[in-house]
Amino acid sequence: MTATVATAVAARATDVWKVYGAGEAQVVALRGVSVEFTRGRFTAIMGPSGSGKSTLMHCLAGLDTVTRGQVHVGDTNITGLGDAGLTTLRRDKIGFIFQQFNLLPTLTAQENILLPLSIAGRKPDPTWYDTVIDTVGLRDRLTHRPHQLSGGQQQRVACARALVSRPEVIFADEPTGNLDSRSGTEILTFLRRSVHDHHQTIVMVTHDPVAASHADRVIFLADGHIVDELANPTPEGVLDRLKRLDVSGSGQPAADAPAPAAGDGHAAGER
């Protein structure tokens, strides 16, 4: 059953564990992570490879289940939702921006942008649609198909697609990873504007200190723990924190993973 609570938080994790496998093959990806993402803020998640940052984002977005703990998106406790409930949640309350763009090649830019609304049987708000299109600078490219667009333009289409339904939160997974520096800067500037000018909420996973410096805060993970946080980041400040993690390790003691409770529907290793 879905619980609701009044909150100014767009998404949050509470004592979240994620365990894959069992026995000698067991991998503990998240170890009791608790974190909140305030509405209208831009948060970057960073950490070494294998730190759990992508796993955390997938659990927050309902793309993966948790072994223990709870995840809320807005007022909705998503932890116990079934497939149908999660599909509705991702369609109506969550926007996604992926490294690979994930555009349908047979559709125009406009059709790709409106696809989530079309699937949901909803029409776009005309005023908000115009705001999104003008913000990403795509008005003269709406009839083009993906192969007729540059990488930066394709990612702007993906950003517009994520924004057009006015989701509770947008999750961006390495959104500049396949772009040159100029196109990457354009995307990051657009994401920041969408937060500061249009009060969107963005959670971005990145390896890049320059990309992270566009956020309002950076959360650092290591070995499945949140080990540090930086407000008003600069590239130099982010790089310094990452270097400290490399030198000192996570700074967190190892902890045994909890055994899944019988019948809780979130067994270790479930993907």
- Write out pLDDT tens, residues 16-49: 999 999 888 999 999 999 999 999 999 999 998 8
Report the pLDDT averaged over residues 167-174.
93
What's residue 244's pLDDT?
Answer: 86
Report pTM. 0.84
**Residue 205 near residue 173 (C-beta atoms within 8 A):** yes
Type of residue at 45: I
**Residue 159 near residue 95 (C-beta atoms within 8 A):** no
Report the pLDDT averaged over residues 186-192.
90
E strands present in the chain:
9-20, 27-38, 42-46, 68-73, 76-77, 94-97, 169-173, 202-205, 217-222, 225-231
pLDDT tier at 207 (50, 70, 90 boundaries)?
very high
d(CA 211, CA 76): 30
d(CA 241, CA 238): 5
Question: Which residues are CB-neighbours of 221 under 8 A, at least 6 positions away?
Answer: 33, 45, 46, 47, 51, 52, 53, 56, 227
What's residue 237's pLDDT?
Answer: 96
What's residue 60's pLDDT?
Answer: 95
Whole-number average pLDDT of the chain = 87
Reported as a single tens digit per residue, the pLDDT across 240-271 is 999 888 766 554 544 555 654 433 444 333 33
Residue 82 tokens, joined: 């079934």
